[in-house]
Amino acid sequence: MNARTDFDLIVIGGGSGGLAGAFRAAAHGARVALLEPGELGGTCVNVGCVPKKAMWLAAELSQRIAMAAQLGFDLPETPPAFEWKEFIVHRQRYIAGIHASYRKRVDESGIVWMPCRGEFVDAHTVQNSDGARLRGERVLIATGGRPRRPALPGAELGLVSDDFFNLCSAPRKTAIIGAGYVAVELAGVLQALGSQVELFVRGQRLLEDFDHELTDDLLENTRQHGIHAHFGYHLAQVQPAGDGHVALINQAGDRSEPFESLIFATGRVPSTASLGVDIAGVKLDEAGFVQVDEWQNTSVPHIHAIGDVTNAPALTPVAIAAARRLMDRLYGGKADSKLEFRDIATVVFSHPPLGRVGLSEQEARAQFGDAVKVFRTRFRPMLHALADSPQRSLFKLVCVGEEERVVGLHLLGEGADEILQGFAVAIRKGITRRDLEDTVAIHPTSAEEVVLLR
């Protein structure tokens, strides 16, 4: 007979969202079990945001070293080599510290952590991979997602985004399939650290969900960095090309030059396989995501889901915020607590970074028509102007109505990732362009351009 233990909440998945939910529920006095077979932190900490940002910082340093040589620093004619393996040691040491912090918090919070998988036996019972059965008054599904590998002949010859973090050097020549966050970010990092990168895009633009004017400028910046993009490209198969290289074959039968590395950045799929959601009665949508309402409720009243396993924006802070608000509602006495999925700021760590909050111009015009007013400025940040770099920034404000209420802010340029957060707060509070005009600028900065837009 398998042992059975009762909990107020069983959390399946120990990524950022699952941990946030477990910690908040425990803080409210709930008895919590957490099932996670891998390292705590999920995609974000282990094969996503954190190691990605570390590699982006390395790429930024590489570009700054080149600029320093232009500005009078006495550097060798041959740029200093980047010791990729040594940097990985620092990157993984940092991540190990996060793991240790999570384990300490789990212990201090009284959460029962089981380092194993979980699957539903019935709507209230979860069995772990060791055979133990746990009964929960409520269950939170937070199993996240995984990279999608296309169902094409030879696709197994390519890497997916998770595999990028196993690289120990920059491949000499890399093909990246995709046009979203991951494709653009990995392209920039690899190019800056020594790879020759080509992007292969099914559609006609990068980052379709971002403001088109800014993505057009970003494309020009990527070209300046040496990245070549092929648009309207339909991959049919991948073939070996000798010496461990691969070649791409499109639907017209054209064969590419050999690439040392191929990375698929073609989206992610929810991790619901072998979870037993059908046994529990939890409904999935056509794409396999767990269906939830605005309160994170699934089709089974006491089973909830958050994060990338649902069709919510695939952003770590969204999963964390949704989990915390859910637990405040379930265990903290806040009956109206839920996440509002509007004006969520997000940044692509491209070179330079691209950020947005609110509506793009095309979205605003579709919703408000001629009531939309747009204000923009293009400029070179001071460091790039001093080094005579071609990189330029584009800041764009989207306003609506006579009062010129700000409904969107879009930043492409150095520091966009750090600048956007404060303005995101202001936009959620309903600021107008007059509010920006009434704000004294901090000079000389890139951020001042937002309050100087005319």
Catalytic residues: 443
What is the secondary structure of 256-285 as a DSSP string?
A: PPPBSEEEE---EEE--TTS-HHHHT--B-
- Within 8 A by CB and 6+ apart from 172, the residues are 195, 196, 260
User: How many residues appear in the chain?
Assistant: 454
- Within 8 A by CB and 6+ apart from 68, the residues are 75
Q: Which of 364, 447, 355, 441 is nearest to 404 (CA)?
A: 364
Structure tokens at 416: 């966009």
What is the secondary structure of 351-365 as a DSSP string?
A: SS-EEEEE--HHHHH
The 3-class SS string of 98-119 reads HHHHHHHHHHHHCCEEECCCEE
Three-state DSSP at 320 gives helix
| CA 45 – CA 39 distance, rounded (Å) | 9
- Within 8 A by CB and 6+ apart from 281, the residues are 123, 299, 300
Q: Where are the beta strands (DSSP E) in 196-333?
A: 196-200, 228-230, 235-240, 246-250, 261-264, 268-270, 303-305
The 3-class SS string of 376-415 reads EEEECCHHHHHCCCCCCEEEEEEEECCCCEEEEEEEECCC
Q: Which amino acid is at 185?
A: E
Residue 315 DSSP code: -
